[in-house]
Amino acid sequence: MAISRKEVEHIAHLARLTLTEEEITLYSKQLNDILKYIDKLNELDVDQVEPMSHVLDIINVMREDKHLPSLSREEVMANAPDHDNEHFKVPRVLKG
Domains recognised in the chain with CATH numbers:
5-42 (1.10.20.60)
Integer Cα distance of 89 and 75 in angstroms: 16
pLDDT in tens, the chain (96 residues): 789 999 999 999 999 999 999 999 999 999 999 999 999 988 999 899 888 888 887 777 788 889 999 999 999 999 899 999 889 999 888 887
pLDDT of residue 14: 97
pLDDT of residue 61: 78
Amino acid found at 89: K
**Could you tell me the pTM of the whole model?**
0.49
